[in-house]
Every structure is written in C-alpha cells, then in structure tokens.
Amino acid sequence: MEALPGNAGRIIRANAPPEIRSVKFVPEIFRPGDSLGVEVSGSDPDGDEVTFEYAWEKNGTPAGSGSRIEGALQRKDAIAVTITPFDGEVRGRPLTLRREIRNVPPSIEGVKDARLEGDLYSCSILATDGDGDPLTYALKESPPGMSIETPTGTIRWEIPPAVTGKVPVTVVVSDGNGGEASYSMAVTIQEAAPSTQQR
C-alpha cells in the first residue's frame, strides 16, 4: 500500500494489486471422465482477501468461468484458462495456462490364468487403457513356438521336451494412438523327475 499526500494534510493510501503465487492444472494426469480444473494461490500486499476470476477456452471457444472447465473433454482438445486475481477493488496481472489433452498410454497389471496342461503353457496379459482405446498385444521377446492373440493378450506355448529353466518373455501392448507399455516375465520350466515303476 503506497501512501500519497492528500488535501489538507490528509494521507491517501493507494490499494496495491493482488498477485498470483502459484497455479497448476488438476488432476496433473488427466483421464477421460475426469473434471479438469486449476488450483491457484495468491497474495495481496495490503492483506486483502484474494479471489480469482476464470475464463476457460476449449479449441478457441469459451468454456466456462469457474475453477473447472465446462463440458466433456477428449483427446487433442486444446485448453486455455486465464486467471485474474481480485482483491475486491483492484485486479492484478492475469496469467494464462495452456494444455493439450494427450493420449494416456496403456497400463499392464500383470498375468492372469497361468496354467500348464501337459506340455501346453498358457496365460493372459491383463492390461487397461485410460482412454478406453482398444488394445493390441505383441511378443517382443519369446521362445520359438510361443504365440499371442493380438486382440486378447492370451499366450500359448507348446513346450519342447528339451527346454528347462527360466525362459524370458516380453510383451508389448499398444493403444493405436502412440501409447505403448511393455511387460517382462520369466516362464520357469522344471525338469520332470524320473518315475519308478514297481513290478
């Protein structure tokens, strides 16, 4: 607050504008179905209470004036929000944040339904995609004869008689929009114990 000389010896104090101290998008990792907003903090040199005015845009079109954007968002949407601090009398310098809604890569949770029936080993790779994209599965590293179903992630392998020990396997999951995740595991093949038959 700046003191200014007034008439008849009076002191007139000018109101100083508030400032934005920090601002960020929330959530930081956006997934479809989330509500995108901002968290803002500010200060005022005079100790006045600071509030904030918001002006959102989605692809250049106005999209609300609250702390969260209005309407559903989808991949490749260009988002901008201009935030202006206000102390009840004076507005401070506005700040604009921009963000593009990007693709969320798939996430691999692990293996399920692993089983060995005779010499046939099978399992399924469990993966999800935050955008709801259809996933495809591929083997990056695998022993000869192992296969994977591209749309389901089900692995099958007819184990050759001479194979024992740990066999490395790496699976890559793709969402068709540039997002990938990989998962490495080892299939352990134990040598069968010799059998003894009584006569």
pLDDT, tens digit (0-9, with 9 covering 90-100), for 43-75: 999 899 999 999 999 999 999 999 999 988 888
Name the residue among 58, 60, 54, 50 with its Cα closest to residue 82. Answer: 54
- Determine the pLDDT at residue 103: 87
Q: Is the pLDDT of residue 196 over 80?
A: no
CATH fold match for the domains 19-101 and 106-189? yes
Residue-wise pLDDT tens digits, 4-27: 555 555 666 788 999 999 999 999
Fold of domain 106-189: Immunoglobulin-like (2.60.40)
The architecture that CATH gives domain 19-101 is Sandwich (2.60)
**Contact call for residues 73 and 116 (beta carbons, < 8 A):** no
Where are the chain's structural domains? 19-101, 106-189
- Over the stretch 69-108, which tens digit does the pLDDT of each residue have? 998 888 889 999 999 999 999 999 999 999 998 888 899 9
Mean pLDDT in the chain? 89
